[in-house]
């Protein structure tokens, strides 16, 4: 009788394997060795993408332009140049300063915006050295060969250089 129960249980488990064979619970289906090939209307193979279905979120830079830009210089290097912009902030605590490239559609002009994030609570600057800051961006030789003018925009002034 005991052998009959074991035989009946084994037979029912094996019969259930037919429906589990194609399910995701079967460990053999976890790694698919032959992926489905998707082709376009022209017959080209379309690779799967990791992009979100609704697309990527558009990034908007919320940092304002620095209020006062005091200097702009271009320092040559072996691989190109370093563009350095200097500015002053009214209080301490400003952070995340950056020269952000702006695409104006002009082929021979490099344009940057001098952006900085203000502090949540302002603390007064006690000296001129505490209110001064410098930001820089590297430019390659290829960028310098194509550019006839480099422009940096700030809140109070726009300065330009010729490379």
Q: Where are the domains of the chain?
A: 68-119+129-161
Contact 45, 37 (CB under 8 A): yes
> What does the alpha-carbon distance between residue 144 and residue 34 come to, in Å, rounded to a whole number?
49
Q: What is the pTM of this model?
A: 0.66
Contact 137, 99 (CB under 8 A): yes
3-state SS class at 131: helix
Q: What is the pLDDT of residue 33?
A: 59
Mean pLDDT, consecutive 10-residue stretches, the chain (163 aa), reads 81 65 72 70 81 86 94 96 94 92 90 95 78 94 94 93 89
Q: What is the pLDDT of residue 163?
A: 83
Q: What is the pLDDT of residue 16?
A: 62
> What does the alpha-carbon distance between residue 66 and residue 82 come to, in Å, rounded to a whole number?
20
Q: What is the pLDDT of residue 35?
A: 62
User: Which tokens hold the place of 17?
Assistant: 């394997």
> What does the alpha-carbon distance between residue 137 and residue 74 come to, in Å, rounded to a whole number?
10
């Amino acid at each position: 009788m005991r052998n009959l129960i074991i035989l009946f249980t084994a037979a029912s488990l094996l019969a259930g394997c037919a429906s589990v064979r194609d399910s995701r619970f079967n460990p053999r289906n976890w790694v698919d060795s032959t992926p489905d090939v998707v082709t376009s209307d022209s017959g080209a193979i379309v690779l799967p993408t990791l992009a979100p279905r609704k697309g990527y979120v558009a990034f908007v830079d919320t940092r304002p332009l620095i209020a006062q830009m005091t200097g702009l210089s271009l320092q040559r290097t072996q691989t190109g140049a370093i563009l350095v912009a200097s500015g002053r902030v009214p209080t301490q605590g400003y952070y995340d300063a950056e020269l952000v490239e702006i695409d104006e559609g002009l082929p021979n002009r490099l344009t940057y915006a001098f952006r900085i994030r203000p502090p949540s609570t302002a603390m007064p600057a006690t000296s001129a050295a505490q209110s001064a800051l410098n930001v820089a961006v590297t430019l390659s030789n290829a960028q310098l060969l194509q550019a006839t003018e480099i422009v940096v925009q700030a809140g109070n002034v726009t300065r330009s250089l010729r490379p």
